[in-house]
Amino acid sequence: MSKNNPQHTGTPGQTTGEKGKDQFAPKPQINFIRAIIDEDLKTNKFGGRVHTRFPPEPNGYLHIGHAKSICLNFGLAEIYNGLCNLRFDDTNPIKEEDEYVNSIIEDVKWLGFDWDDRLFFASDYFDQMYQYAIQLIKAGKAYVDDLSAEEIKEYRGTLTKPGRNSPYRDRSIEENLELFERMRAGEFEDGSRVLRAKIDMSSGNLNMRDPVMYRILRASHHRTGDKWCIYPMYDWAHGLEDSIEGITHSICTLEFEDHRPLYDWFLDQLGVYHPQQIEFARLNLTYTV
């Protein structure tokens, strides 16, 4: 046969089919999260850093679905020679216990991951979060609201109906500062007042309709005890924790996609370091215990 015949190409003992299989095999695809990180590294967005976190709430035991988030966050840090924090989002003292903290720590270790000295709690930052809230009040971006939870829900509107401004929305900065300080001091009953962000009650995104930042809740916290009687809401605390810890890529499950504008709004209003939130599909298992 001619030397140009493709059947005679390749190494001795290799069939044409074997070579063709190697030649035309699809190249492995980089997932969209890695594509984002690669682009950020290329543009030096975070100074060449990759810093992720696994942030469970210590209100129960981990299940196999959590393994996806654990492996994703710690795995990305390993791939890019970065860092991954283990952080407990302990902003709800009613549901959280040290037993769950210890169990989660053991489970992450069992999966083979190590966070070195980067074990954190949202409660580490309660004082700082409180000062940030005062900063927003002084900027006219937050107010104390006396509406009940039911009234707040009613005023919020629906996906097809815009919300209404609270009658307490236009309180002066001075009055809001005084009331928030009194909330902190324990002068009001549980549920009687909240601190809300002042954004847009007609927004098409319900999360942007003046979300609650703090609520009054007299409950002993598993780490801070009875020091606090007001506690931050998750949407307020989440981005601040990421910012304080210097996280570069805040990887969340897909249900937080609609919360990203609020994540961005809080950080932008405060003018602090701003991580990037990225959402991925969570792993849900049925017929399991």
Those residues of the chain that have pLDDT short of 50 are 1-21, 23-25, 27
Chain segment 192-237, per-residue pLDDT in tens: 999 999 999 999 999 999 999 999 999 999 999 999 999 999 999 9
83-88 and 119-121 beta bridge pairing: parallel
pLDDT tens readout for residues 88-121: 999 999 999 999 999 999 999 999 999 999 999 9
Domains, the chain, in order of start with CATH, read 32-280 (3.40.50.620)
